[in-house]
Amino acid sequence: MNTVILELPLDALALPGIPPEDLVSEAQFMLVLKLFEIGRLSSGKAARLYKMRRVAFFPCSRAGLGAGSNT
């Protein structure tokens, strides 16, 4: 699979008490969610990109919520 690297200064996303790994996971989910919302990804493909089952991704996408950990 090809990968895309998105560089952002960590302080642009940093919040006190939130580990950088959580911010990375949230950013990944939000990108996948947005691509799903605009029709660029199917729910199955979005779920695979976020490394979760489609049945778990679909309710999250409808609510606009992350599922916590993507592993």
pTM above 0.85, yes or no: no
- pLDDT by residue, tens only, the chain of 71 residues: 688 888 877 777 677 788 877 888 888 888 888 898 899 988 888 888 878 877 776 655 555 554 444 44
Residues 6 or more apart whose Cβ sits within 8 Å of residue 61 = 33, 36, 37, 43, 46
Angle between helices 54-63 and 20-37 (to 10 degrees): 80
Q: In the structure encoding, which two tokens stand for residue 57, read together?
A: 């991704």
